Amino acid sequence: MQEAREIGLNFAGQERVERYVENHLRVLESSRVCYQHDDYHPGNLVVYREQFAGVIDFNRSDWGDPIEDFYKVPWFSVAASIPFARGQISGYLSASGMEDFWLRYNLFVAMNLHGSLVWEHQNSPPERQSRWQIQIEEMLKAHDLENSGPPRWFGT
């Protein structure tokens, strides 16, 4: 958040996102820690002969809350395929049985909006950067930061 402020980057709904993070950050104190890919999205999946063949690009892998790997779902998986995004999360939920998944998911999505905007600012041409601000606004419309529920695209 600090780096985004220093560069002068902002987005509609930013104050609401920052409040959500501030109000829910404490849930990470009880996070389970495990090895995670940390850049898991369809662009890093390998498909061979119409079959899943593996995952690539582990250069960002680290240790942390396993739910963090889902913050890229609205950025990349939803854009590629909403059924794939639903399946990605449903598969995890059926295996983990986590009660506070959506709270943690929304928190990681919210926590990474500023960083994603900074990354885009540093790595993309200006005409593409405005597209990311629009995508953030669309993500905020779809995500339930009031009740920590599932995003609209997930369905029930």
pLDDT at 129: 67
Residue 72 resides in a domain? yes
Query: Can you give the CATH number for the domain in which 59 is found?
Result: 3.90.1200.10
Residue 74 resides in a domain? yes
pLDDT at 98: 77
Residue 105 resides in a domain? yes
d(CA 62, CA 33): 10
The mean per-residue pLDDT over the stretch 41-55 comes to 94
Going from the C-alpha of 98 to that of each of 119, 131, 144, 153, the distances in angstroms are 30, 33, 18, 20
d(CA 71, CA 40): 9
Cβ neighbors of 32 (< 8 A, separation 6 or more) are 65, 66
* Residue 85 confidence (pLDDT) above 80: yes
Residue 156 resides in a domain? no
Q: What percent of the chain has pLDDT over 70?
A: 99
* Residue 123 confidence (pLDDT) above 70: yes
Token pair for 73: 């779902």
Number of domains in the chain: 1
* Helices 126-142 and 101-123, axial angle in degrees (round to 10): 170
Computed over every residue of the chain, the mean pLDDT equals 90
Range of the domain at 13: 2-151
- Answer for the pair 78, 85: CB distance below 8 angstroms, yes or no: yes
Residue 108 resides in a domain? yes
pLDDT at 17: 95
Per DSSP, the residues of 52-101 read EEEE---TT-EEE-GGGGGGGIIIIIHHH-HHHHHHHHHHHHHHH--TTH
* Residue 125 confidence (pLDDT) above 70: yes
pLDDT at 132: 81
pLDDT at 124: 83
- Answer for the pair 42, 85: CB distance below 8 angstroms, yes or no: no
